[in-house]
């Protein structure tokens, strides 16, 4: 059975005291033990978040990492640095990284390779923009993102990969893909993995949906057969909302 996962992407929110407050609130929530829970604070709060949550079942993920092992890359963070503070999971390819920081499929494929070499778990994000959907090109676009960014990985690496389909037009906009639209794309993604790898790999990978998931819509999205959870932005900054989404299966 593939895992149910809810991951909170805090993005560039929460300074130190806000992080401590949010963590204390999260620790007061009752979180279903059937769901793998991940939180992803900014780099400056990864270490204290890891320390704060290490007695809990919650996993801490970084929002990004550099593709090189180390070196003269001012301002960047390596996989080894993350691992040295206990962080073994990283989000790669978020649409905001693609849109605002020029991250291409080619670059993301290098980050994927580096993360896997470091034995990290990857939450690999992808998804079409509104123009792609209007042009009915969303399936092609998603397939291309997977082929160019991810499908160089070996069969053995798939147990370290979580997918997050996030239609860009639904991120932070209040606009959600309908549960049917999410299911249609998730089934397509699973099928594409089966074609490129195997049915058992496709059946084993968790595919999260992301884009304006809230307590009010999580259950209807998560009940779709190919939706295995969510990558949550805005609603993950409120502990009660986040817990309600974790418990929405």
- Interface residues with ligand PGA (CB under 6 A)? 9, 166, 171-172, 210-213, 231-235
Do residues 162 and 5 touch, judged by C-beta distance below 8 A? yes
CA atoms within 13 A on the CB side of 220: 11
Residue 220 beta carbon to ligand PGA: minimum distance, rounded to whole angstroms = 16
> At which residue do the structure tokens 């009915």 appear?
136
50 versus 242: smaller Cβ distance to ligand PGA: 242
* Residue at shortest CB range from ligand PGA: 233
- Residue 44 to residue 48: CA distance in whole angstroms: 8
- Residue 148 to residue 208: CA distance in whole angstroms: 20
Active site residue 166: yes
Active site residue 76: no
Residue 247 beta carbon to ligand PGA: minimum distance, rounded to whole angstroms = 17
Residue 191 buriedness (CB in 10 A; 0-12 / 13-18 / 19+): middle
Residue 227 beta carbon to ligand PGA: minimum distance, rounded to whole angstroms = 14
89 versus 201: smaller Cβ distance to ligand PGA: 89
Which of 94, 96, 128, 138 is flagged as catalytic? 94
In whole angstroms, how far apart are CA 86 and each of 91, 92, 96? 15, 18, 25
Which of 96, 103, 128, 166 is flagged as catalytic? 166
46 versus 221: smaller Cβ distance to ligand PGA: 221
93 versus 112: smaller Cβ distance to ligand PGA: 93
Residue 176 beta carbon to ligand PGA: minimum distance, rounded to whole angstroms = 8
Nearest to 11 by CA among 244, 237, 239: 237
Tell me the catalytic residues. 94, 166
């Amino acid at each position: 059975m593939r895992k149910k996962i809810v991951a909170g992407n805090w993005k560039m929110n929460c300074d130190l005291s806000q992080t401590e407050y949010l963590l204390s609130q999260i620790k007061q929530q009752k979180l279903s033990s059937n769901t793998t829970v991940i939180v992803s604070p900014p780099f400056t709060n990864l270490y204290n978040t890891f320390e704060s949550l290490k007695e809990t079942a919650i996993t801490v993920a970084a929002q990004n990492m550099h593709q090189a092992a180390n070196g003269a890359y001012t301002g960047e963070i390596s996989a080894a640095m993350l691992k040295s503070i206990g962080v073994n999971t990283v989000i790669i390819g978020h649409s905001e990284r693609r849109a605002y920081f020029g991250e291409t499929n080619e670059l993301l494929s290098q980050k994927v390779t580096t993360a896997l070499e470091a034995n990290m778990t990857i939450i690999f994000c992808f998804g079409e923009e509104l123009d792609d959907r209007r042009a009915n090109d969303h399936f092609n676009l998603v397939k291309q993102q997977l082929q160019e960014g991810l499908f160089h990985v070996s069969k053995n690496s798939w147990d370290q990969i979580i997918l997050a389909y996030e239609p860009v037009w639904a991120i932070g906009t209040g606009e959600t893909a309908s549960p049917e639209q999410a299911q249609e794309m998730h089934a397509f993604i699973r099928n594409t993995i089966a074609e490129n790898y195997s049915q058992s790999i496709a059946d084993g990978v968790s595919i999260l949906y992301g884009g304006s998931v809230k307590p009010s819509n999580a259950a209807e999205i998560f009940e779709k057969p190919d939706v295995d959870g969510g990558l949550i932005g805005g609603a993950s900054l409120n502990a009660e909302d986040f817990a309600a989404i974790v418990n929405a299966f």
